[in-house]
């Protein structure tokens, strides 16, 4: 989930990892300074885009009444359990790759992420379609409705509303999906990875800052243990052929789009800090001061933390748990700003509830008023 590393570079030599060359006997590729800088810079830029735009979209999502756009709220209990669930999942994948054929596991996972990737990319592209579609193209509305039972016992199973631009987005996303399945090209992988990251930041909401601290603190320990304590994280990251990481070739300047010597960044290093940064943006909005102090502070802290991760990895030639640097930066900097502004108590008192819970509370209040 959370590590920054080079693939097929000198740091992999002790493990005998494939260099990404066409021949197993070919000389190992040594990345140039320009190629390395381009790869790292591109990874940082790709990490920032879903955080920035996902956070902005999370503000409108928190007010959405459309069931397909409603966020999933993470509570303190969810946050406390998440590192345990993530550890079990990670170790389970590690055992699967050790016991069963890697080829068949990745084929199954590729089909699973093929479907998820198309849906995620379609949801990402849909809001932008209005700007590119001809003005005279009718935007027809559709509804997909599945129910169970009849009469008073009828219950909605699926109620999804969509329009013409959603269908066009789905078509474009399907083309990318077929490209990914057939070629496993790194560009297609990154398109799906960026879509997953943006959707995660947009639709996964922390209910308060304390929950965010619990989640980031737990994953801080999780990340350090699985990267430094074992080889599990690095093994799974290199074996797992699915768009759960962003990659960029360090030999792009030499080999173009057919390059294969990758630096990589796990999506967990984007989504986990990203949902905390998005929470701080919504806190900024709640203050109604027309400032985005905490959002920009945490966003700059993320850039600093990720830059520090890459610097340490490049210096010591070893995969790094990015949350080791990102968590203290993304939590520490906004807290220091809140202390200086005298808004620390207000920050930790800020609370969000899920739209479903809000609707339930309103219904209970209405029924209570009727009883009175």
- The set of catalytic residues is 223, 269
Give the relative orientation of helices 268-287 and 186-203 as an angle to the nearest 10 degrees: 40
Q: In whole angstroms, what is the distance from residue 102 CA to residue 18 CA?
A: 15
Which residues have a Cβ under 8 Å from the Cβ of 26 and sit 6 or more positions away?
19
Q: In whole angstroms, what is the distance from residue 215 CA to residue 66 CA?
A: 27
241 contacts 20 by C-beta, under 8 angstroms: no
b or e along 33-51 (b: 16 or more beta carbons within 10 Å of the residue's beta carbon)? eebbebbbebbbebbbebb
Greatest alpha-carbon pair distance for the chain in Å reads 83
Neighbours of 232 (CB within 10 A): 18
204 contacts 61 by C-beta, under 8 angstroms: no
Radius of gyration of the chain (CA): 22
35 contacts 251 by C-beta, under 8 angstroms: yes
Taking the alpha carbons at both ends of the chain, their separation in whole angstroms is 53
Q: Which residue has the tokens 């340490």?
A: 312
235 contacts 94 by C-beta, under 8 angstroms: yes
């Amino acid at each position: 989930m959370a590590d920054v590393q080079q693939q097929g570079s000198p740091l992999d030599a002790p493990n005998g990892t494939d260099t990404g060359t066409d021949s197993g006997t070919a000389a190992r590729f040594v990345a140039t300074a320009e190629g390395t800088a381009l790869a790292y810079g591109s990874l940082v830029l790709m990490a920032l885009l879903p955080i920035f735009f996902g956070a902005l979209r999370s503000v409108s999502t928190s007010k959405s009444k459309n069931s397909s756009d409603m966020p999933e709220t993470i509570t303190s209990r969810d946050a406390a359990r998440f590192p345990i669930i993530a550890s079990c999942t990670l170790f389970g994948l590690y055992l699967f790759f050790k016991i069963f054929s890697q080829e068949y596991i990745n084929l199954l996972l590729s089909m699973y992420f093929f479907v998820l990737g198309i849906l995620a990319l379609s949801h990402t592209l849909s809001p932008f379609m209005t700007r590119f579609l001809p003005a005279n193209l009718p935007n027809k509305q559709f509804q997909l409705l599945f129910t169970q039972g009849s009469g008073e016992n009828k219950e909605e199973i699926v109620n999804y509303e969509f329009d013409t631009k959603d269908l066009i987005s789905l078509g474009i996303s399907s083309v990318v999906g077929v490209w990914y399945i057939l070629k496993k090209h790194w560009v297609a992988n990154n398109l799906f990875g960026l879509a997953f990251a943006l959707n995660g930041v947009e639709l996964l909401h922390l209910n308060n800052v304390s929950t965010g601290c619990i989640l980031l603190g737990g994953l801080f320990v999780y990340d350090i243990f699985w990267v430094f304590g074992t080889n599990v994280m690095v093994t799974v990251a290199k074996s797992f052929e699915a768009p759960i990481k962003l990659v960029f070739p360090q030999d792009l300047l030499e080999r173009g789009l057919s390059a294969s010597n990758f630096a990589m960044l796990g999506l967990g290093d984007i989504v986990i800090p990203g949902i905390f940064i998005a929470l701080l943006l919504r806190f900024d909005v709640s203050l109604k001061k027309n400032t985005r102090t905490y959002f920009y502070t945490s966003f700059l802290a993320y850039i600093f933390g990720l830059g520090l991760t890459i610097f340490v990895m490049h210096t010591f030639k070893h995969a790094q748990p990015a949350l080791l640097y990102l968590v203290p930066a993304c939590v520490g900097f906004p807290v220091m700003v809140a202390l200086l502004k005298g808004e620390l108590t207000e920050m930790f008192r800020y609370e969000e509830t899920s739209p479903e819970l809000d609707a339930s509370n309103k219904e209970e209040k209405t029924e209570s008023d009727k009883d009175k």
